[in-house]
Structure 1
Amino acid sequence: MSNSVGFWKRFLAEVLDSIIIGIPLAVIFGLITGQWEDDNISTFVVFLYTMFVPIFWYGYTVGKRMMGIRIVRVDGKKISIGTMLLRCLVAGIVYGITLGIGFIVSAFMVGLRKDHRAIHDFIAGTYVTSNKP
């Protein structure tokens, strides 16, 4: 795993995705539906974005691309829907079952481990790198 990326670059990529994708989607759905408190639809669309954009864009999301980082599989194969389901959905369930403790542990793993892999990376067999496709 060459050029694995640590906590701050990954964190900033998530912040950029939230600002560039998440907030505009929430505003658009709020304007369309008039329901500003119910963000289920925009949350679902953000989930689909997180799932599918890396599959079709070499492991990048908009935020990751801006930070020069991307998701790759440990075995070198192309990211698939199965990979992203494991990374997003299954990991999300694990984080939910542990009441967020797993998420906090993952943040420390990314910051402290030499390979910078989080729980969701281990579940999906992925890591985040600065290597270009």
Structure 2
Amino acid sequence: MENLAGLGRRFFAYLVDWYIGALVTAFPVSAVSMKLFETVKNQNLLTFPAPWGLVAGGLGLAAAVLYYAAVPILVWRGQTLGKRWMKIKIADSSGGEASAGQLIIRQLAGIIILEGSLVSASTIWHQLVTILTGVNVVTALMYAGMAVSLVSAVLTLAGRRRAIHDRISGTVVVSCK
């Protein structure tokens, strides 16, 4: 029988990862902002002159991928720093080790793109889509992400405590032994 992670530990791990992920994601954007505007206060890529919005957004998104995907794939299998601190990890749906593919789907497609409102990398993603398409999708994607995130949070209260990102990737969050 698998040892599902408690909701309290899972929530605290989320808070740690939200904070650290925001710092990691914002750092390259802040560096470009400092170069362009001599301040780190401007984090709105839509106000950066071309091509600097794409550059800053691409660097910020790359930093987010390193934290949210590369760390749990290459450094601590199935764990971000928050999950490691809380002694929980991402496992496959049977409780075994999650594959790199499952972690990429969960962390990037599920959390950053689909749920898309609860991590700062999602804001960068929304702004990049707007820059690339010329259609302002930031608000629409933010509200859609909030709705999906709310459903996802409710799903963690039932059964095996699997959020949408766990369900689409075939993963579950378990306590470490």
Give how far 1:31 is off. 3.6
Quick one: which of 32, 42, 45 aligns to 2:60? Answer: 42
Q: CA RMSD in A?
A: 2.7
- When the two structures are superposed, what TM-score results if normalisation uses the length of structure 1? 0.78
Deviation track 1:90-132 (CA, whole Å, cap 9, x = no partner) reads 324443578122211110111x213111111111111101123
Asked whether the equivalents of residues 73 and 127 of structure 1 are also in contact (C-alpha less than 8 Å), the reply is: yes
Rate the CA distance shift 1:48–1:19 in 2: closer, same or farther, 3 A: same
**Alignment match, 2:149:** 103
Report the AA paired with residue 114 of structure 1.
Answer: G
Match of 1:26 in 2: 26
The size of the alignment, in residue pairs, is: 131
CA distance in 2, matches of 1:125, 1:54: 16
Structure 1 position 76, deviation (Å):
4.5
Structure 1: 4+ residue segments shifted above 4 A: none
Indicate the SS of the match to 2:144: coil
Give the stretch that moved more between structures: 49-58 or 122-131: 49-58
Gaps of 5+ in 1: none
Alignment of 1:80-99 (within 5 A): 80-91=99-110, 92-95=112-115, 99=144
Query: Quick check: which has more Rg, 1 or 2?
Result: 2
Distance in 1 of aligned mates of 2:61 and 2:15? 15
Q: SS where residue 109 of structure 2 aligns?
A: helix
Partner of 2:176: 131
Q: Give 1:9 deviation, angstroms.
A: 1.9
Provide TM-score, normalisation by structure 2. Answer: 0.61
Percent identity between matched residues is 35
